[in-house]
Structure 1
């Protein structure tokens, strides 16, 4: 088959992901789709995958995608004639600790909210469904009847055949040797046949990097960052076991093991806590259906536990000891979407050993995104733009990958922090905070003080689903901000300067707010997409006639900057990340003004510095800029100091606050305060699929402006009415804890789930935010219902409100 010289899209990589992307693009009617595979289809990772197909993932949309995969594979054989081996055998996950059972029970509750069939079961019920299981030490488990297993290679080959049937060209033994670029666009790819006898060039409109464990290298060729690293992954297959019948998939995460019956044999796989990174010097060009050297010593502890858990394994001979590489990302979520560095390079790679169950949904979602130019729904968990540039560092990836493989089966405790590859990004206040007992968490590489240990208290997390060891610490920090004054480090939040003669016009186009404001005015605002969904939630400060400072959440700085960059068009602006240039300290609480007046001669009264304004100030012997805003619902300022003066500013404020009872606070305090105030959290409460009006943020959108992205969708929603409303909930029982994804029950029926949850220390109970369907209903109708929240299978009554339960009129903010 000769290759064309022109294509609409070139897909690089013929594993199950590349085949799925090709299949779904052609299903949407795309022509000129070319898939290039360096060796044979499936020859990298897909061929040796275990083929487990589970529906339950960590979030609503990831569960939706996994559910789509298993439905697709159920129909694929009839469509293509290729046997996929897909069978709905069901799956059982068992817990050996009460903490793990709490996790499974919460996941089961979440699954019900997402429409997945799931049932909590006792140890005895697990045994009745899995006769070979030793239930000693088993606390309980969950049963998902529609989970399945399949033949990974044949699923990929079926997808490839389906793509070919709809006109795609799928070419094996053809390696992409270089990628041609012009500015922020790829113009084409050079290719060469495996035997070196043929070579050529395909000009193309876009490429998709589906290169699996080669994804990092292919990304570099295309000028984009795809952080992933290969690790060794082990499993054994037994000899045939007499009378072994079809069994459900079994997972025993507390023993790092999964079990799959396959043709009368048993497969035992492992996600061990300390993984073995592989391919540090690159992957050999000859790699094809290869396996790595056995390491029985590494696998032996898993096998020993398995022989106890399933005694028949002790009698069965080992037919195959397999060690094959798979790629893992820094956060155990795969990479999907349009790469931030380029405008026509798409990525679908780094599937962390769940490529088979993810491929169908990921291919569908990416194809729809490529078709429409907008995400079909929120994909923030896996959007490639969440990755920070430094995360492509090979040493960082090597260190982090040792941990991420094992985290698949580790307890997924709330607030669990990664232990490896830490300390990369530190704020100017890091050593000051550490000296005062700060316990750090990591977000986007930033070390952030999450809470402060008391003298004599161990300054580290003790993980649990119950009240954590820092619960009282966070409560004390919360109390200080509500009743006196607290200070915390906000340096990690993204800071982006937008400058140029068209800065005002550009901001008015890209954002929903009104930026034609005086210098020093701060505008809380959203960037909207064409559907009125929220792409970014930011504050924008006008610094001068031609410059603005956009402040974003730490994790979305790159995504938000990229969103602006892609909409510059003919506007004469320059967009620059200046995050590291300034340290930021938030001084919040009823006595915040009093503290600032002790260290600065400037005027912080409402007359000079009302809420929503910024001013340049003197502080101590230095200079800073004071922004009067709040994310905790109290009087307060964010103090921006250049990196060289940040240490001095901290010491000045900290020393001056000692006789006032100033308390250093962490991010957990900020989250608990903001949820009492009903402030939305981007990525949880508000995403690209949540309409700004349904999120209750219509006050931040100024539709009297003539032209901004999303204006038509906002006006249309005003006309048609809301279909959902963001509601704030507070449990009537002060004991249970909320995190997020707990089902919301209205008048006895599940209607949704919490998008975020935390403990309201001032209001005295756990609180959450979540959307409630309300088509054709008034606000009064929504509030007239009775509500409960499902906490790990127990329904707990909840109060509901559309206004913030804490200080609904924001009087405290404006004093």
Structure 2
């Protein structure tokens, strides 16, 4: 480790911009992995940089509905606890409403699922034993996580710097990023130029500005939130205080009072009152009060500014009106009023330090990590709080050094945090600032299942959307696309099949319709049209196209024109990056199909960046519209509108034809994601409306119906078809996911060594179907599964199987519990469900429905 404010190296293999929690964590973990020649620069002094890492109160609540968020938080707390810069005082989340108490039950279940130690629900009396300042009459109970706590931000940064082999340079402002032929080649600073091979943007509040230096649009929205620290309180008088000595000898930009108080540790559990968007902790003999309970105070991402002699760059002046008046759109009380009721001892307290501190949100509220799509060698490590910083630093370092995103306990799923996941419009400032503002408002809200935003709708629509609207489509937004979940025009089917569609109530019934079950059953019995326009096609062509795809795909894809092959894309560690179909169009031209949402950015870019010069990879995002034509009457309908032979002999399962549907040229694939006879019909987008009309008119006497995504989910679970980002992801291996058939070790492919290594170690768990014994409830993901008194897994995906008449759960279970007939118990919303492991698939085991 070395630190300096000058004498920058002229060259460094890796440059990390930002010496806050994340940048320091990445540097530390790179050192742990043996990386050499790493340089870290920051515009502020070290370690008090002036970013959110040093103005934050450091509170760490670890439990999240996201497994990755929970895992990275726990990793961070263990790392910083071992470093001696973490106060493990526990954390208590309070409930002031029945809805919040239900939510805390979910907290306890997530914690159990994801391995946090000893989560507990507390009575009001038990809460006040830990937090005697809380007004017991104001609460219904609490959730206690004993390993929650607080990190000493300045001390943690100093520890990272001392432990890392990287070189750190403070008071060094980055002024430009040099990109040559699509690759990062240098970082320009006010102290000189550093040539580099790779660069990590870890500037958080300045993330958008920093990326703009390389002409990359990252949707990182800065937002202010409020925090105050009281004067010493009589109720805490027995507590020692080091205020005045905490930052002695350190260069501190702006208000030293803030850093003094943030460096003062708690001696009681940290707490939060999410019903009022508040949190709190003790600071020695004072108490700190934090608030999201005000209108969103968005900051222009282009105008973050820098430290001055009088101010810290990420701290704005405290706005008392947002503290004392109710300005939050969904909260009736102001922050002060709610705190006065919850913590009456603070009602008349004076404040020793106040701030409007800045931190950031992405459009979906999750971090943005990984290699950018636009610039080779440019990495993002943004929108990460102290809570998760250690874990994400480890993941990014592993990814950079070994090509494998992982924590110490294995592969991790990056589908929800990959910087490439954002839709093309997400980098427009007005869009991501508005989205960040909404995420700020929701940060402590109870967000109902399948909640849908009202703003920025209709950005990406299928050419079929006006027809779908006429049919009463209920649109949900997914990856920026407007995707029908069900159609009100099918309400008659819900009446027809009412006896086969169990009524749902409670949490999982919200934003759900029995029409999805009716569309499921209709597709099994007749024929339906499913809009697949949001799905992605990628054209791969060139003289070396076959050998290139053979190297990228886990399966043998040396196929003839007209053949279709299911395969996986794996990362170097054998984790599943995507499941795909490869279609032979001619000898040197292939079509690769994958899902919607983040697939073009994540999967398409992966293929493109690995292609040799002799191979062209064209991501056809938005260029084609696709209809899934599925059901036992689909062949009869399709044969009416084409001269091509679509018989089983003439068009067998997993084959393709380029043909006409009416006047429309299509690439037709004989594949079906719902386990029924059917085709995917891919057409240029300008022909889409005619394709829909042709099929719709020809199928009226067959009772052709539109089908939404809700039916797709239940049908694919009955058939045991995996869904990337839900059942399979980079945290899963092919063998664990039951996809060994898509791996051919006779070929050489990216990830082969990883697959072999996992097989040599043995499979610890496998994706397994489970059905509830005596309930038709649809369970929620992330809920724990128990056997022999222990948590052995958690719900990965769930729905009701309307054909088999049973409630389905899919989960990764230890192999010892994965045999059919094994009894397990599943906890969800405080109820315990008896369930049984089953053989896969649950529907049409002989494949008679598909191959006929």
TM-score by length of 1: 0.91
Q: Which residue of 2 aligns with 1:289?
A: 312
Q: CA separation of 1:421/1:756 partners in 2, compared to 1, >3 Å: closer, same or farther?
A: same
Larger deviation, residues 217-226 vs 399-408:
217-226
- Equivalent residue, structure 1, for 2:534: 492
Provide, for residues 550-592 of structure 1, a one-character-per-residue CA deviation record: whole Å limited to 9, x for no partner: 111212221112221232246x211111121111111211222
Superposed displacement of residue 754, structure 1: 2.4
Mapped to 1, the partners of 2:648 and 2:365 lie a distance apart of: 47
* In 2: Cα distance, 1:425 partner to 1:180 partner: 33
Kept in 1: contact 2:43–2:306 (CA 8 A): no
Match of 2:41 in 1: 36
Give ranges in structure 1 of 5+ residues lacking alignment.
Answer: 78-83, 193-198
TM alignment of 1:73-222, pairs within 5 A: 73-77=80-84, 84=85, 86-117=86-117, 118-136=119-137, 138-163=139-164, 166=165, 168-192=166-190, 199-222=191-214
Partner of 1:196: none
3-state secondary structure, aligned to 2:94? strand
Q: Give the Cα–Cα distance (whole angstroms) in 1 for the partners of residues 57 and 755 of structure 2.
A: 46
Q: How does 1:577-596 map to 2 (within 5 A)?
A: 577-596=619-638
Instruction: State how far apart, in whole Å, the 2-side matches of 1:663 and 1:396 are.
Output: 35
Out of 599, 602, 605, the residue aligned to residue 562 of structure 1 is 605
Kindly indicate whether the alpha-carbon contact (under 8 Å) linking 1:757 and 1:769 is maintained by their aligned counterparts in 2. Answer: yes
For residues 657 and 689 of structure 1, what CA distance do their matches in structure 2 show? 43
Q: What does residue 264 of structure 2 align with?
A: none
- Contact 1:474/1:668 (<8 A) preserved: yes
Residue 66 of structure 2: aligned partner? 59
Aligned to 1:268: 289
Shift of 1:273: 7.5
Paired residue for 1:398? 433
Do residues 616 (structure 1) and 662 (structure 2) align?
Answer: no
Aligned to 1:81: none
- Which residue does 1:649 correspond to in 2? 691
SS, match of residue 279 in structure 1: coil
**Residue aligned with 1:450, SS:** strand
Alpha-carbon shift at residue 248 of structure 1 (Å):
1.6
SS of structure 2 residue aligned to 1:416: coil
1:579-630 deviations in Å (ceiling 9; x for gaps): 2111111121122222223433433211121211222333344332322211
Distance 2:573 2:490 in 1: 51
Task: Find the partner of 1:433 among 452, 455, 468.
Answer: 468
* Residue 237, structure 1, aligned to residue 238, structure 2: no
Cα deviation for residue 23 of structure 1 reads: 2.0
**CA offset at residue 115 of structure 1?**
2.1
User: How many Å separate the matches in 2 of 1:516 and 1:129?
Assistant: 65
Which structure 2 residues correspond to residues 337-356 of structure 1 after superposition, within 5 A? 337-351=370-384, 355-356=385-386
2:500 is matched with none
Q: Gapped runs of 5+ residues in structure 2?
A: 240-266, 327-333, 493-503
Indicate if the aligned counterparts of 1:273 and 1:403 stay in contact, CA closer than 8 A.
Answer: no
Q: Distance in 1 between matches of 2:558 and 2:847?
A: 24
Q: Is the 8 A contact 2:10 2:194 kept in 1?
A: yes
- Distance in structure 2 (CA, Å) of the matches to 1:147 and 1:179: 39
1: CA distance between counterparts of 2:664 and 2:490?
Answer: 31
Residue range with higher mean Cα deviation, 419-428 or 94-103:
94-103
* 2:252 alignment counterpart: none
Aligned mates of 2:320, 2:704 — CA distance in 1:
56
Q: Which residue of 226, 230, 236 maps to 2:218? A: 226
CA distance in 1, matches of 2:225, 2:469: 37
Query: Does the C-alpha gap of structure 1 residues 716 and 348 become closer, same or farther in structure 2, counting only changes over 3 Å?
Result: closer
Deviations 1:622-654 (A, max 9, x none): 332322211111111122222111112222323
CA gap of 1:360–1:446, structure 2 versus 1, over 3 A, is same
Higher alpha-carbon deviation: 118-127 or 717-726: 717-726
Query: What's the offset of the Cα at 1:223?
Result: 4.4
Post-superposition offset of 1:800? 1.1
1:371 Cα deviation from its structure 2 partner: 2.1
Match of 1:516 among 538, 558, 565: 558
Structure 1 residue 104: deviation in Å?
2.4
Measured after TM superposition, the shift of residue 492 of structure 1 is 0.6
- 1:139 Cα offset (Å): 4.1
CA distance in 2, matches of 1:747, 1:532: 31
Indicate yes or no: 2:751 matched with 1:710: yes
**Is 2:761 the partner of 1:763?**
no
**Residue 3 (structure 1) aligned with residue 11 (structure 2):** no
Partner of 1:673: 715
SS of residue paired to 2:12: strand
Contact 1:9 1:33 survives alignment (8 Å):
yes
Paired residue secondary structure (2:509): coil
Tell me, in whole angstroms, the C-alpha distance in 1 between the residues paired with 2:775 and 2:478: 29
Q: Residue in 1 aligned with 2:362? A: 329
- Contact 1:451–1:470 (CA<8 Å) still a contact in 2? no
Cα distance change, pair 91–11 in 1 and its aligned pair in 2 (3 A): same
After TM superposition, the score normalised by the length of structure 2 is 0.88
Contact 1:540/1:549 (<8 A) preserved: yes
Distance 1:799 1:157, change over 3 A: same
- Deviation at residue 679 of structure 1 after TM alignment: 0.9
How far apart are residue 188 of structure 1 and its match? 1.7
CA, structure 1 residues 796+641, in 2 after alignment: closer, same or farther (shift >3 Å)? same
C-alpha distance in 2 between matches for 1:469 and 1:24: 43
Match in the other structure for 1:794: 831
Per-residue Cα deviation, 1:110-169 (whole angstroms, up to 9, x for no partner): 211322120122334333333333345644431101110133233223322332xx3x22
Contact 1:414 1:463 in 2 (8 A): no
2:844 counterpart of 1:803: no
Larger mean Cα displacement after TM superposition, 181-190 or 670-679: 181-190
Contact kept in structure 2, 1:369 and 1:375, CA below 8 Å? yes
Given that 1:416 and 1:463 are in contact with CA atoms closer than 8 Å, whether structure 2 keeps it comes out as no
Q: 532-541 or 25-34, which moves further after superposition?
A: 25-34
Alignment of 1:777-788 (within 5 A): 782-783=819-820, 785-788=822-825
Q: Tell me the equivalent position of 2:259.
A: none
1:99 touches 1:465 (CA, 8 Å); kept in 2?
A: no
2:771 corresponds to: 730
Q: Quote how far apart the aligned CAs of 1:783 are.
A: 3.0
Contact 2:220 2:301 in 1 (8 A): no
Change (3 A) 1:56 1:719: closer
Give how far 1:713 is off. Answer: 4.3
Instruction: Specify whether residues 292 and 578 from structure 1 end up closer, same or farther in structure 2 by C-alpha distance, changes over 3 A only.
Output: same
Q: Distance in 2 between matches of 1:16 and 1:621?
A: 59
Indicate conservation of the 8 Å contact 1:746/1:785, yes or no. no
Q: Given the superposition, is the C-alpha separation of residues 784 and 731 from structure 1 closer, same or farther in structure 2, using an over 3 Å criterion?
A: closer
Offset at residue 274 of structure 1 (A): 4.7
Give the aligned length.
786
